Amino acid sequence: MGKLDNKVVFVTGGNSGIGKACAIAAAKEGATVMIADLATADHSAVLKELTDLGAKNAFVPIDVSKSDSVKEAIAATVKEFGRIDVALNNAGVGGPYSGIHDMPDEVWQRIIDINLTGQFYCVKYELQQFLKQGGGVIVNLSSLAGLVAEPGLVPYTAAKHGVLGLTKNIAAQYGGQHIRANAICPYYIDTPLLANLPTEIRKKWEDRTPIHRLGTAQEVANAFIFFASDDSSYCNGSILTLDGGVLAS
């Protein structure tokens, strides 16, 4: 038996990187998977992988920065599969390095709109569905920048700190209604987004960790499965740090 047998898993940003790894891991544990990503994303590869694993799956377009888009994606998932048991709120963006004093307003707003307000929209409509059906699990993707400052990435840091506050509030307010919410805080993860990263920057990031490497998407997926399954049945409002020991050093 899989840890997510007969569960419907909703994954934002599921087309590639961490989201894709988590979606595939969920399928391997027996889940039905809804991939939610931008309408322009080429989702054919991940859907084929899910199908090859024997998992029921589908794609729904979503722009997490738009409340109506999130509402429609949640409704479409419930219409397709009847319910949502686990939601992974993973969609997000980075941003250019900048000081606070000279940051363009539009840069701040875009990153906050996607990384924080987008998380709020997702949990708002996920919670509405969970309350109707009698429970569910939320896993929010934050970042090591949700725990410590990342100089130069001010809106990203602020948003990821906000995600942790949002997660804790869900846990405190809805735990008595069979709803759990937890968060994952990864350090830099080796995904296709880093394919063109300059060698010197990559080495700097690797050297910052005591184990001298970046994390993998599969390692984040392992953490996701823990939080998504009954293995973490007494975890609520918890934060799992995946940083190779950065905070400890």
The reported pLDDT for the residue numbered 210 is 96
The reported pLDDT for the residue numbered 112 is 97
β-strand partners of 60: 36
The separation between CA 78 and the C-alpha centre of its own chain, rounded to angstroms, equals 20
The reported pLDDT for the residue numbered 214 is 96
Residue 125 annotated as catalytic: no
Domain coordinates of the chain in residue numbers? Answer: 8-241
Question: If you search the block for the tokens 């599921």, which residue do you land on?
Answer: 14
- Dihedral sign for Cα 205, 208, 212, 215, please: negative
The reported pLDDT for the residue numbered 55 is 98
Cα separation, 127 vs 173, whole angstroms: 11
CB atoms within 10 A of CB 223: 23
Cα separation, 123 vs 174, whole angstroms: 12
User: Taking the model in full, what pTM does it have?
Assistant: 0.97
The reported pLDDT for the residue numbered 155 is 95
The reported pLDDT for the residue numbered 197 is 82
Q: Which of 97, 121, 125, 156 is catalytic?
A: 156
Domain 8-241 adopts which CATH fold? Rossmann fold (3.40.50)
**Per-residue pLDDT of the chain in tens (249 residues, 90 and over written 9):** 899 999 999 999 999 999 999 999 999 999 999 999 999 988 999 999 999 999 999 999 999 999 999 999 999 999 999 999 999 999 999 888 899 999 999 999 999 999 999 999 999 999 999 999 999 999 999 999 999 998 889 999 999 999 999 999 999 999 999 999 999 999 999 988 787 888 998 999 999 999 999 999 999 999 999 999 999 999 999 999 999 999 998
The reported pLDDT for the residue numbered 194 is 81
Phi, psi dihedral angles at 115 (to 5 degrees): -80, -25
CA nearest neighbour of 22 among 42, 82, 31, 62:
31
